[in-house]
Structure 1
Amino acid sequence: MFDVVKKDLEELEKEMLSVVSSPVDLITEISTHLVEAGGKRLRPALYFLGVRARKEVSKYATDLAIALELIHMATLVHDDVIDSAATRRGIPTANSKWGNQMSVLTGDYLFAKAFSLVALSKYDQRVLLALTNIICAMSEGEIVQNRQTFIPSTDEQEYFSRIAKKTADFIAASCQLGGIIAELNDDEIAALYEYGYSIGMAFQVTDDILDITATSEQLGKPAGNDILQGIVTLPVIRALTVSSDKEELTKIVSTKGMDQEMLKRGLEIVHATDAVEYSYRAVDEFLDRARTVLPSSLPQEIRDTYIYVADFIAKRKF
């Protein structure tokens, strides 16, 4: 999918292992485990596409891509601690191997490493502002989600606001930063931000759909985990609105420490409605917006790749 920036992503992988190395062996061990766990590298890939719209990718540009991925990794480590997650991408989480304390501190280390890369280069002031805004938004989103767990809600705008902070704002900023480094004009940078935001919203809604439709093997983590944790996502919101069993579903979603039978019944209620189809329609709307806002001034190969990303999100199963 990202053939046009394949070499850039390969360089990213190599450099990340060097960047996370520490004189403290345990930090290096945990950080290396996180890097080698892999991932979609969606944020740096979208960033690199923006850079290549006008520029070659320099060491200066690669450092910012590494910073983006380190910030993402740090937030995942902290999320896994908050969620008491045992696996991610099919492998043990840092907290399940080394405990919560070491995981939180390693996440902090990765945040610091990310900003040390930025501090060592004279980036545009907009770069630092975008990175700090990313972390603020994700922290706000996580706090809001934490306060709303096990509280059944049918407020879609509240849900969309939450996932914007947790996911879409970061992907939007990654696209924006690529445009800034490429020295695109303000309208082009704003369009890339809007594209990234729309892609990010579609990506998270798809994630929430897959949580109730995919298998644990496909996800690399337990299926139905959102309901188990009391997190109300768009499919559940829809089911709470239209299901004839909405009262039963309300009780299930409100139950802390629900057992597997309750989870299974909750999923059955959701699947008995049009919740999945309804949620996919929201995904399609966001993706249509993403395709529409792309600047016509982008090189065709870059523009085609951005569109291909939207097409991939529409049909992804993991």
Structure 2
Amino acid sequence: MNDFLELVVGATASGCVYGLVALGYLLITRPTGIINFAVGEWAMVAAFGAYVLLSRFELPYALGMALVLVFMFALGWLTERLTVRPLLNKGAPPLAPILVLLGMLVVFRESVSIGFGPDPQPVPPSFGFGRLELGPIAGSYQSFFIIALTALVFVAAWYFFERTLAGKSFEAVAIDRRAAALMGINLGRVTSLSFAAGAVVAGLAGMLVAPNVSAHYLMGMPLAIQGFTALVIGGVGRVEGALLGGLILAFAEQFTVRYAPVPPGLAMGVPLLLLIVFLLARPTGLLRAREARA
């Protein structure tokens, strides 16, 4: 029983990471309609930022995290301004920004590979490598830290969209960009902030998972697939759907690896299998967008 509960804690922590990556997708996709597959590479860049500041320079953990997140905000903002904005201003077809961002995916990955080499780099966990036991529930300090911090992020994201005027402007752009522009909402500012916020959330996911898997230049693509699958499962239109999809995906992965009579390598295909199933059976995800509900 204790082993099962520890597996639940580990799966919940993994699901939180997937949910954060999915939220990074959602923050960009909802107001812009652009699917940014470079979100996984943003998580990878942040993981290496954590390696530099926390391992090499040994900064305090909170300060190092804050500096990396500020850098990710700037990186997301610049990515939109330099690659996406010119295409939108020229009236390029919807596929053009997606293709450009796929090119940026390669740029981010190869830049890190050249700068840091192919070897994994260690990132220290926030509270060390110890274990926390709460009665029958046990897990690593990092797992509980991931769960707690993710809960705070999703509560903050929900509050932003549901209770703030700025969040309402994001929702208005998501529902009808032309009507939002006629109401005086600055579409360019919303687009820039959506990319910056997506980069921050994806970067946070990268920093949280890095102590468990190390910072590696190839870590971005699996996170991109897992995050996108989580978004499809939960529903593109709901903040809480990103977390729900991440948890469902992580539990499916962890329980397949632990209990299913298949080689661990085949369990890596669980996200792709779930992605195909949901795209065919329920493309809107488990939770529909609010404007789609009766």
- TM-score in same-fold range (> 0.5): no
Higher relative contact order at CA 8 Å, sep ≥6: structure 1 or structure 2? Answer: 2
